[in-house]
Structure 1
Amino acid sequence: MPHGNRRPNCEYVPRDQASKCPSTRGPHAIRHGSITWQRNLGFDEDTVAARVAATPQVIRRYYDDPDFDDELERRRSETEVIDIEEHLHPTDLGAEEEDS
């Protein structure tokens, strides 16, 4: 019962009025949400691109739009393995040792 209207009384039921319904979502919004959701589940860009018939570049540019927390979560698996104890020497960070 969307918007308090029962189907027989709803002004948006006729096909020519359906797009005006406040609950209506266009296909682009659904596609956008699905692609972001799949990426948040951990699917890589190539897999998602193949599933939705798009290129990874198009996915990145137009569709994949994670919020801040989702973006951090995606990177977690890459950054969890960083051990500061293993990278204490200045050369570990790309800097050269100074001659004494």
Structure 2
Amino acid sequence: MSVKIRLKRTGMKKAPSYRVVVADSRSPRDGRIIENIGWYNPRVEPSAININEEKALGWLKNGAQPTESVESLLKRSGILARFEAEKSSTSAE
């Protein structure tokens, strides 16, 4: 089973907001999820990103693959850099 960190669309028609969720890669975009780890609102300026860092790092350590859009959100919030730093420090030991 492949687990992905991806966006689930919420909000009204023509006014999207998104939840950052962990889901099975085979489930539909707005289908069953495993865990909700944050949200993203592109409609405000600057766009609002709120991701639970500990949950995201835990899922990344367990092998969950972020989609391209979630990967860019994780980079913008600094979570991906922290994950890479922890990964390189454990491999150096």
TM-score, with structure 2 as normaliser: 0.28
Rg larger in structure: 1
Structure in which a larger fraction of residues adopt helix = 1
User: Relative contact order (alpha carbons < 8 A, sep ≥ 6): 1 or 2 greater?
Assistant: 2
TM-score, with structure 1 as normaliser: 0.27
